[in-house]
Amino acid sequence: MSVATVSDLLRSKLGELTPAGREIAREILTDYPRAGLETAARLAARAGVSAPTVTRFAIFLGFEGYLEFQDQLRSELGERSKSALEQFPLDTPEPSSGAVQLAADAAVLAGQVSASLDAVPGALIEDAVQMLSTPGRSVHLLGGRFSHMVAQYLQTHLQLLRPGAFLVSSNELDRASTLRDMKRGDIVVAYDFRRYTPETVEFGKAARKRGAKIILVTDPWLSPLSTDASIVLPCSVASPSAFDALSPTMALTEVLISGLVRHSGAAGRASLSAVEAILSSNADHDVDIRYI
């Protein structure tokens, strides 16, 4: 059987499952993918069902049985750890015209953006927007080697629309201080993609223990932080090159920003106006650096 990921399949089928099937799915998604790699008997015990029910669950999802279901999960584990070097072509591709290559690459990227956004339930986006708009709750954003740029992009917009939006420092002492000051109900937005960033996962888990709510933007194979997240937003990373694409993630971030602008209303406009006024005032007092 060919599926994008088991987690995608489970989420798409939740409404069709029996109560016992939903319990199995929740157990797998809560501890993904480890729970699904346990024996049928152990997974059944976790979900409070019988081992034959686990087998029927796998068959209902379209697999020949629980073993094929586990084979799919094992193949995902390999995808989760793939590096750019492993995806780099060994052979030099045949050269093509710039126009042909542009059209081919654009089709891949546009298709992945569209597929990623189509796969995210609108209610989940609304939940994320409402959480990020919660008055009196600080928002802390972080990402990995490349995805930190998207985290910073969202943080830059958030700080214009509301107070209390902070980019998490990469400095270990700064992170410890941020966690110390974090209050129950504060929000962490983490961008984490394969091969996943241990520091991001550790920060998110520590924040969760302090009562923070986690919004996780990740890939289809799901960051280890997904088990601690209140909201998980998976994005495709399929790319025409050896490097994972962030264009679907950026598109999703733009959707969040659009929702935040609509949700913030007059308060958001007042916040933006105050920032603009300060910037204009500073510009009026600029000093000519030629005389310093």
Q: Does 285 fall in a domain?
A: no
Q: Which residue has the higher pLDDT, 88 or 248?
A: 248
Based on the fold, state whether residues 46 and 128 are members of the same structural domain: no
Cis peptide before 195 (omega within 30 of 0): yes
- Measured CA to CA in angstroms, residue 135 lies from 54, 68, 179, 265 at distances of 43, 47, 20, 13
**pTM score over 0.95:** no
Percent of the chain with pLDDT over 70: 90
Q: Which residue has the higher pLDDT, 84 or 276?
A: 276
pLDDT band for 289, please (50, 70, 90 cuts). Answer: very low
Q: Does 256 fall in a domain?
A: yes
Residue range 5-10: average pLDDT? 88
pLDDT band for 239, please (50, 70, 90 cuts). Answer: confident
Domain CATH number, residue 169? 3.40.50.10490
The whole-number pLDDT of residue 263 equals 95
Residue range 85-96: average pLDDT? 65
Domain boundary among 80, 105, 139: 80
Over the stretch 146-202, which tens digit does the pLDDT of each residue have? 999 999 999 999 999 999 999 999 999 999 999 999 999 999 999 999 889 999 999
CB 100 within 8 A of CB 48: no
Domain boundary among 63, 80, 97: 80
Based on the fold, state whether residues 154 and 259 are members of the same structural domain: yes
Predicted confidence (pLDDT) at residue 100 exceeds the cutoff of 90: no
The whole-number pLDDT of residue 78 equals 76
Q: Does 234 fall in a domain?
A: yes
The whole-number pLDDT of residue 284 equals 67
Predicted confidence (pLDDT) at residue 220 exceeds the cutoff of 80: yes
CB 137 within 8 A of CB 164: yes
Domain CATH number, residue 67? 1.10.10.10
Distance (Å, rounded) from C-alpha 9 to C-alpha 119?
11
Phi, psi of 137 (to 5 degrees): -110, 125
For residue 235 the two structure tokens come to 């994005």
The whole-number pLDDT of residue 183 equals 96
Beta strands across the sheet bearing 231-234: 165-167, 139-142, 187-192, 213-218, 231-234
Q: Which residue has the higher pLDDT, 93 or 266?
A: 266
**Mean pLDDT over each residue of the chain, to the nearest integer:** 90
Based on the fold, state whether residues 236 and 139 are members of the same structural domain: yes
Based on the fold, state whether residues 201 and 121 are members of the same structural domain: yes
The whole-number pLDDT of residue 3 equals 54
Predicted confidence (pLDDT) at residue 2 exceeds the cutoff of 50: no
Based on the fold, state whether residues 54 and 174 are members of the same structural domain: no
Q: Does 144 fall in a domain?
A: yes
